């Protein structure tokens, strides 16, 4: 799993930095611990504290960065469990406006 996480980090560093606004570059560092929860086949029953802490930081900075990070992961071929991705804010006890990802194929809670 460590190798997979390292590949994920390298992918997001290159794609988010290139395709996103500078404010979203921090998503990579803050949301990396959420990957193990949202990929299909994950055995985790809930997100880790570090995932939720990272997500809180990202939401406070710019909730749109959640959309960009998830979209880049999907575009990069990662098999994301959309039900888990959609439930991640609630699983972390966060309220994220449903209009943050208009016009995308991403969950409505992001």
Domain ranges for the chain: 2-100
pLDDT digits (tens, 9 = 90+) for 58-94: 888 788 888 877 887 777 777 999 889 888 999 999 9
How many other CB atoms are found less than 10 A from the CB of residue 47? 23
pTM over 0.75: no
Q: Which residues make beta-bridge pairs with 93?
A: none
Q: Exposed, middle or buried, 25 (CB in 10 Å: 0-12/13-18/19+)?
A: middle
CA–CA distance from 23 to each of 5, 28, 95 (Å)? Answer: 22, 11, 20
pLDDT at 1 over 60: no
How far is residue 47 from each of residues 52, 88, 107, measured CA to CA in Å?
A: 7, 8, 17
pLDDT in tens, 8-18: 544 444 444 44
- Helices 49-61 and 82-91: crossing angle in degrees, nearest 10, is 80
Task: Render pLDDT for 12-46 as a digit per residue (tens, 0 to 9).
Answer: 444 444 444 547 776 667 888 888 899 999 999 99
């Amino acid at each position: 799993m460590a190798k997979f996480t390292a590949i994920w980090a390298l992918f997001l560093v290159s794609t988010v930095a290139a395709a996103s606004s500078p404010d979203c570059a921090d998503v990579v560092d803050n949301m990396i611990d959420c990957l193990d929860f949202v990929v299909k086949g994950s055995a985790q029953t809930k997100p880790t504290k570090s995932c939720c802490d990272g997500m809180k930081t990202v939401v406070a900075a710019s909730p749109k960065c959640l959309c960009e990070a998830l979209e880049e992961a999907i575009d990069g071929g990662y098999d994301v469990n959309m039900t888990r991705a959609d439930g991640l804010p609630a699983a972390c006890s966060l309220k994220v406006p449903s209009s943050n990802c208009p016009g995308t194929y991403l969950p409505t809670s992001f």
